Chains A and B, each alone.
Chain A
Amino acid sequence: MYILGISAFYHDSAACLLKNGSIVAAAQEERFTRKKHDAAFPRHAINYCLSEAGVSANDIVNVVFYEKPFLKFERLLETYLAFAPRGFRSFLSAMPLWIKDKLFQKSHLLKELKQSLGTTVDWSDRLLFSEHHLSHAASAFYPSPFEKAAILTIDGVGEWTTTSLAEGLGSDIKVIKEIHFPHSLGLLYSAFTFYTGFKVNSGEYKVMGLAPYGKPVYADLIKKNLMHIAADGSFQIDMSYFDYACGLTMTNKKFEKLFGGPPRRPESELTQREMDLAASVQKVTEEVLLLLAKDIAESTTHRNLCLAGGVALNCVANGILERSNIFDNVWVQPAAGDAGGALGAALCGWHIHHSGERQITTNLDSMKGAYLGPSYSTAEVEAELLSCDAKFQTYKQDEMLQVVVEALIDNKAVGWMQGRMEFGPRSLGARSIIADPRSPLMQKKLNLKVKYRESFRPFAPSILREYVNDWFEFDGDSPYMMLVSGVSHDKRRVMNDNEESLFGIEKLNISRSDVPAITHVDYSARIQTVHVETNALYHSLISRFYEETQCPMLVNTSFNVRGEPIVCSPSDAFKCFMGTELDMLVVGSVVLRKEDQSGSSHSVYAGDYALD
């Protein structure tokens, strides 16, 4: 039985296909349309899922949409009524759009399904809807390796729910508690994202990356004025400081008065104030997350926790939760944001609507390493690259590995495209840019010459699972780069007094460990453990690098430039390779060197994508 899950019309549209409850394929629409966070109906992703499984539209028993449009419409309408007469202008401008997009979303979906999959099937009989946070909870629990677990989902907002506490037992999910709009931890974080001059819904991870440069001097101010936090972690936001419920911005004048000034203008210089604001909202988020986790641990007595929702992408908070020992095991859905809602919706269709059996994969989980997207054969890669006028050399796999290791040791930045594309926002060694983490200049080089992004942003390591405990204060599985942990003390470099006294962004230029390219200013790193079971080729590459250097890890960053979706096809990879200062591109066993390419293939690339 095939079930298709869809998320769309807000941000990060995606599709996911299940066969008898097992994930066959999943992908985000943005990877095909090349529009970051594309919210359009995921017709390309759906077509890919069907072709991967080799099935036709007739074979799909149900299509499950990841949220309930009427419920969302109800929330929008009630919120405006509750805040009236505030927000009258935005109400007038948004009303026609809501009627079209929310009230008539089902007919819109049916029309799109007809256009994408043909008219032979009456989709109105097969279309189901799951609640937004139930979709998140399902995406967190069902693929996890646990028979029973507590489930915590936190994001901006779904229909009404912004935070839900649930428990999973076998094939059942029971919701225990919910916190409703406008009281939202995700929207509080987004408000600070806006206030510190970053884009809401995409800049949150920049705030997280900026936090270690600052001190949480505003944390008490936030807790005293902006929100009331109860002992069980539930919270209430004082909406007199915010404009997001029915206005056109996140924060208002009262908020600006409290924090002593207007929001930072996007792309203007970052000051210590923004860093302190980031550190403060990060600290409050961590405190609330820990209290919520304690509450659900006590009320369910489960020793396993599953996390999803946009806030679960906050890997710094996840790391603190993991180290708190509130739970024995923490599992975070790699596609924790709305894209993962497609997977959750499909799983709800299988387990809840059809009462389908749950097969638990106790070794790691059922996500197949999150490698759920398209892959390309060598013949396809060569044909596509030839059409791009690329000069390349095809090696045997073993030779290719040696060529790449030598390039890495020679301080080259390598575009690495192998096998099936990752599902979710992280590159995990299938569409990655990789480099030597021992190089003290690598972080700057990658940020400014390859990624064209802000120099304060850190990079993550991909480390062989077998050696993670030798290099980090962590000894578990983190295959999806969802946890942050400290670099081991014996690998750290002690700062002298001069270096200690540096502030803010100046800290960045100091080499802090044996692997400076992946060590953040607070000695932390966002770890990806590489497992032979889920990505044997990447494991082999790092093993070979280890044999030559005694360093069992590589820098791993997503294969894209700022504002661009991660590459999907060989031609996307080639375009990115030629538009940046990447030195080498490896697609399967096909190797391209920058110096071999003709001048006409070079492109100016950085300006092609809107800044995120």
Chain B
Amino acid sequence: MLTILKELWRFLRVRKKLWMAPIILIMVIFGGLLVLAQGSVVAPFIYTLF
């Protein structure tokens, strides 16, 4: 996981697309929550967010 994130950071720097970093970060967090929500443990939390 950490290696992939490091590589992604390097990729964004080389491509001069660091502005994407916060968007990706938010997507990863929300995406992760959505995946977790399938297990229903955090579903109520997601529900309040939306």
Contacts and interface: CB of A to CB of B under 8 A. Distances in A.
Interface string B12-50: 000101001001100110111011000000000000000
Interface stretch (A101-109, A422-430, A453-461, A518-526): A101-109
Contact of A104 (B4, B11, B30): B4
Interface in A48-99: 70, 74, 77-78, 81, 95-96, 98-99
A81 B20 CA distance: 10
A96 B34 contact: yes
A103 B8 contact: yes
Contacts of B4: 103-104, 106-107
A585 B8 CA distance: 53
Given A99-B28, A106-B7, A77 B15 contact: no
A112 to B, nearest CB: 15
Given A74-B15, A77-B23, A107-B1, A99 B8 contact: no
Nearest to A70: B11
B30 A77 contact: no
A161 to B, nearest CB: 15
Binding site secondary structure of chain A: helix
Contacts of B15: 74
Contacts of B17: 74
A258 to B, nearest CB: 35
Interface in A545-588: none
Contacts of A106: 4, 7
Given A74-B17, A74-B20, A95-B34, A103 B11 contact: no
Nearest to B8: A70
Interface in A103-119: 103-104, 106-107
A99 B20 contact: no
B27 A99 contact: yes
Contact of B30 (A70, A74, A95): A95
B11 A96 contact: no
Interface residues of B, number: 18
Contacts of A107: 1, 4
B50 to A, nearest CB: 10
B19 to A, nearest CB: 10
Contacts of A96: 31, 34-35
* Residue among A78, A95, A99, A100 facing the most chain B CB atoms (10 A cut-off): A99
Contacts of A100: 31, 35
Contacts of A77: 20, 23-24
B1 A95 contact: no
B20 to A, nearest CB: 6
Nearest to B50: A92
A80 B24 CA distance: 13
Nearest to B30: A95
A95 B27 contact: yes
A103 B35 contact: no
Nearest to A106: B4
Contacts of A70: 7-8, 11
Nearest to A93: B34
B28 A103 contact: yes
Contacts of A103: 4, 8, 24, 28
B38 to A, nearest CB: 9
Nearest to B38: A96
A95 B24 CA distance: 10
A81 B24 CA distance: 12
A521 B32 CA distance: 55
A103 B8 CA distance: 8
A156 B28 CA distance: 28
Interface in A99-157: 99-100, 103-104, 106-107, 124
A99 B31 contact: yes
* Residue among A81, A96, A106 facing the most chain B CB atoms (10 A cut-off): A96
A596 B30 CA distance: 62
A541 B24 CA distance: 60
26 contacts: A70-B8, A70-B11, A74-B15, A74-B17, A74-B20, A77-B23, A77-B24, A78-B20, A81-B23, A95-B30, A96-B31, A96-B34, A96-B35, A98-B31, A99-B27, A99-B28, A99-B31, A99-B32, A100-B31, A100-B35, A103-B4, A104-B4, A106-B4, A106-B7, A107-B4, A124-B3
Listed from nearest, the 3 A-B pairs whose CB atoms lie closest are A99-B31, A70-B11, A96-B31
Given A77-B20, A96-B31, 6 more contacts: A70-B8, A74-B17, A99-B28, A99-B31, A103-B24, A124-B3
